[in-house]
Amino acid sequence: MLQKKQDIFAFADYNCRSYITGGLENIKFNSVFGLPLQFVIVFMLGLLITVYLAAAAATARVEERDSSVRGESVSSYRWEQAAIWACPLH
Amino acid sequence: MNQDGSPVVINRDRTFYWHYAWVIVAIIAGMQIVGSSMRMAFGAFIDPLEEQFKWSQGGIGFAYALHFIVSALVSPWAGNIGDRLGAKKSMLVGTAVFFIGMVMTAYITELWHFWVTFGVILGIAQAIFSVPLIPATMVWFRRHLGLAMGLVMASWGLGPAMATPLIAYLVVKFGWSASFLVTGVVSSLLMLAMITIFRNRPGDISALAYGTRPEDPPLSDRLPPSALLKEFNVHMRRTAAYYNMSSIHFLGCVGHAVILIWIIPMATKSGLTLVDASLIVTVMSIVSIATRLTTPMLCERYGVRSVMTLFFILQGAPVLLLFIPEMPGVFYIFAVTFGIGYGGETGGFPILNRKYFGHAPMGGPHGFQMLGAGIGMALGGWIGGPIFDIFGSYNWALIASIAASLGGAISIVVLEDTGHLLIPDWQKAEQIFDS
């Protein structure tokens, strides 16, 4: 885990110069839950974008139905409810 | 074979000479073109299905997304199957699943049938075809792997160009159901014919891998022992490169999927006709064939990380042109420049695998990389829709595409040095295991 400032510098240093000097025991990488930090960053960003956009798409669909059927309550699909529930911004 | 029964060593440093390895390359290219033809021509089925069953385009399109997602999720398993059973048996399993999926799709009557047959069953078949085939090619090449990979990857660009018009003609002439049935039967027969002459390893025909020199230690001519395979998969999963190559594949695929799916609506909204807009995709595909062919060779010659970084940048930078759609001819300038980067983006991965993991069986890492690629294709293909619904333009989708490609380039720069194997040498380990 990157907890201190020097850990971040160590990570950058690792990424600029290979740590690989021979056997398997020399392979090191800064990790989060045992996974490389680069991989975790990409995974988390991808997940966040998916959750946000899915919720935004669900909200847009519900609002569109609401505006087309004025005065009546419109039920939403389960995937729309789940997408809106999963995103803290919607 | 020599008179004493030992394999003939052809000591040639030339890039090209006759060898059965080229038959293998042709079979694998052919399998990929035939097996993925329906996926490539999916657009031709949307209107006929909508017309007959009154299904929504979103519901039909979901089958396509499901196909990619299932294919991605099954990829790591398909890679391991390829390592354990060998590519030949894997292809037989894939052909059986493909045949069942195609015939069942021809008789669908409900939307969920289509999701199951096209999305799930044909998605599984696609993974079994595509994932073990690249490692199967690698086994046949000791050197000059770049040329072989270039030819296989060029077929990925050639496939859509050949399959789409042919299948569109079948749909118009005979209808969608007969097209699935005819294409399923004919494709399965073609694949069975190719599998018959396919060989897993050079040792199966008493030959040595392409580019072998007399001083090279021998490569094994049998399937890898399962205990050793398991141990090496553990070694690979302990390297950062195993995970980072998958996330780089993901970023690269997000970068081009946004463009491949949404460039036509972008162009038509800027005033181009549908025919002119579809020409943009054609130009991109044609240009990409040249770079698909040459990138693996460039990677071998000039360094794999440098060349891959360059092509990721070339994939991301031209997207900036789409922010000035009013410039005359901008879409065609974009198609040519983007096609160069898009074609070259994938070509370095097999070379990178060879540099990091040597001659170890590649099904596992390649399958994991294809998992990243498939999810990237699905996400990149999807995000344009909600972004347009929210913002009323595709600009943020373009920004996401640029960010993904450039993010991939940065990730490649910070990958490990390719000068050393990251895991123990497979050949030595296999020799020790045998003794």
Amino acid at B300: E
pLDDT for B345 beyond 50: yes
Residues A21 and A44 in one domain: no
The two tokens of residue B29 are: 């290219």
CA distance B138 to chain A (A): 24
> ipTM for the complex?
0.74
Residues B400 and B318 in one domain: yes
Residue keyed to tokens 């347009």: B388
pLDDT for B6 beyond 70: no
- pLDDT tens string B12-28: 566 678 899 999 999 99
- Residues of chain B with pLDDT > 70, as a percent, come to 96
- Residues of chain B with pLDDT > 90, as a percent, come to 41
Q: Is B360 part of a structural domain of the chain?
A: yes
- Chain A CB contacts of B305 below 8 Å: none
Query: Whole-number mean pLDDT of chain B?
Result: 87
pLDDT for B197 beyond 50: yes
Q: Is B427 part of a structural domain of the chain?
A: no
Residue keyed to tokens 């990570």: A11
Residues A49 and A90 in one domain: yes
The helix/strand/coil state of B73 is helix
Which CATH number covers residue B300?
A: 1.20.1250.20
- Interface contact A46-B411, CB threshold 8 A: no
Q: Is B13 part of a structural domain of the chain?
A: no
A42 and chain B: CB distance < 8 Å anywhere? Answer: yes
- pLDDT tens string B248-279: 999 999 999 999 888 888 888 888 888 788 88
Angle, CA B402 vertex, CA A43 and CA B380 arms, to 5°: 55
Q: Is B35 part of a structural domain of the chain?
A: yes
Coarse DSSP helix, strand, coil percentages of chain B, rounded to the nearest 5 percent: 75, 0, 20
- Beta-carbon neighbour count of residue B220 at 10 Å? 18
Nearest to A38 among B244, B383, B417 (CB): B244
- pLDDT tens string B215-227: 787 777 777 888 8
Residues A28 and A38 in one domain: no
- Would you mind telling me the total number of residues written for chain B in this entry? 435
Q: Determine if the pTM surpasses 0.95.
A: no
The two tokens of residue B66 are: 């499901």
Q: What's residue B189's pLDDT?
A: 95
- Would you mind telling me the total number of residues written for chain A in this entry? 90
pLDDT for B204 beyond 50: yes
**Of B169, B189, B213, which marks where a domain is finished?**
B213
- Interface contact A60-B244, CB threshold 8 A: no
Rounded Cα distance between B100 and B117, Å, is 9
Q: What's residue B45's pLDDT?
A: 82
- Interface contact A38-B386, CB threshold 8 A: no
Least-confidence region, from B53-57, B102-106, B252-256, B403-407:
B53-57
Packed helices B240-269 and B330-344: angle between N→C axes, nearest 10 degrees: 160
Packed helices B226-237 and B426-434: angle between N→C axes, nearest 10 degrees: 150
Interface contacts (A, B; CB < 8 Å): 70
CA distance A42 to chain B (A): 6
- Rg of chain A, C-alpha, whole Å: 22
- Region for residue B333 given its phi and psi (left: phi exceeds 0; alpha: psi -120 to 50; beta: otherwise): alpha
- Chain B CB contacts of A24 below 8 Å: 235, 238, 423-424
A49 and chain B: CB distance < 8 Å anywhere? Answer: yes
- Interface contact B386-A29, CB threshold 8 A: no
Residues A28 and A43 in one domain: no
CA distance A27 to chain B (A): 7
User: What is the mean pLDDT of the segment spanning B406-424?
Assistant: 90
Asked if residue A41 lies in contact with residue A48, where contact means CB atoms within 8 angstroms, the answer is no
Q: What's residue A27's pLDDT?
A: 46
Q: What's residue A15's pLDDT?
A: 46
Rounded Cα distance between B435 and A46, Å, is 47
- Interface contact A39-B246, CB threshold 8 A: yes
Least-confidence region, from B6-15, B89-98, B153-162, B394-403:
B6-15
- Interface contact B411-A29, CB threshold 8 A: no
Number of domains into which chain B is organized: 2
Rounded Cα distance between B351 and B307, Å, is 11
Phi/psi for B36 (5° steps) reads -100, 10
pLDDT for B397 beyond 60: yes
Residue A14's domain spans which residues? 1-32
Asked if residue B222 lies in contact with residue B372, where contact means CB atoms within 8 angstroms, the answer is no
Instruction: Give the DSSP letter of residue B317.
Output: G
Number of domains into which chain A is organized: 2
CA distance A52 to chain B (A): 10
pLDDT for B401 beyond 70: yes
Question: What b/e string do you get for B71-104 counting C-beta neighbours within 10 Å, with b at 16 or more?
Answer: bbebbbbbbbbbbbbbbbbbbbbbbebbbbbbeb
- Rg of chain B, C-alpha, whole Å: 22
- pLDDT tens string A29-49: 567 778 888 899 999 999 999
The residue of A13, A39, A49, A59 whose CB has the most chain B CBs within 10 angstroms, and thus the best one to mutate to test that interface, is A39
- Kindly state the greatest CA–CA separation across chain A: 72
Packed helices B43-53 and B145-174: angle between N→C axes, nearest 10 degrees: 30
- Chain A CB contacts of B423 below 8 Å: 24
Residues A39 and A8 in one domain: no
User: What is the mean pLDDT of the segment spanning B391-407?
Assistant: 93
Asked if residue B282 lies in contact with residue B158, where contact means CB atoms within 8 angstroms, the answer is no
Rounded Cα distance between B337 and A4, Å, is 43
Q: What's residue A26's pLDDT?
A: 44
- Interface contact B240-A54, CB threshold 8 A: no
Residues facing residue A36 across a β-bridge: A31
Interface of B with A (CB under 8 A): 235, 238-240, 243-244, 246-247, 250-251, 254, 375, 379, 382-383, 385-387, 389-390, 400, 407, 411, 414, 416-417, 419-420, 422-424
Rounded Cα distance between B224 and B431, Å, is 11
- pLDDT tens string B227-250: 888 888 888 988 999 999 999 999
Rounded Cα distance between B317 and B301, Å, is 24
Q: What's residue B8's pLDDT?
A: 52
- Chain A CB contacts of B243 below 8 Å: 35-36, 38-39
Q: How confident is the model at residue B398 (pLDDT cuts 50, 70, 90)?
A: very high
- pLDDT tens string B290-315: 999 899 999 988 999 999 999 999 99
Residues A58 and A16 in one domain: no
Residue B259's domain spans which residues? 226-413
Closest CA to A28 of B282, B238, B205: B238
The helix/strand/coil state of A31 is strand
Q: Is B200 part of a structural domain of the chain?
A: yes
pLDDT for B89 beyond 50: yes
Closest CA to B345 of B328, B326, B369, B327: B369
Residues B347 and B249 in one domain: yes
Residues A53 and A85 in one domain: yes
pLDDT tens by residue, chain A, 90 residues: 445 555 555 544 544 444 444 444 444 556 777 888 889 999 999 999 999 998 988 888 888 887 776 666 667 788 888 999 999 888
Residues B394 and B284 in one domain: yes
Residues A40 and A22 in one domain: no
The helix/strand/coil state of B86 is coil
- Beta-carbon neighbour count of residue B138 at 10 Å? 21
Residues A38 and A24 in one domain: no
- Chain A CB contacts of B375 below 8 Å: 46
User: What is the mean pLDDT of the segment spanning B102-106?
Assistant: 95
The two tokens of residue B55 are: 């299904």
Nearest to A20 among B382, B385, B420 (CB): B420
CA distance B294 to chain A (A): 28
Asked if residue B384 lies in contact with residue B261, where contact means CB atoms within 8 angstroms, the answer is yes
- Interface contact A43-B247, CB threshold 8 A: yes
Q: Is the dihedral of CA B297, B303, B304, B307 positive or negative?
A: negative
Q: Is B63 part of a structural domain of the chain?
A: yes
Angle, CA B31 vertex, CA B30 and CA B36 arms, to 5°: 105
CA distance A73 to chain B (A): 23
Q: Is the dihedral of CA B81, B84, B90, B92 positive or negative?
A: negative
Residues A90 and A77 in one domain: yes
**Of B153, B186, B213, which marks where a domain is finished?**
B213
- Beta-carbon neighbour count of residue A25 at 10 Å? 7
Least-confidence region, from B46-55, B91-100, B192-201, B405-414:
B46-55
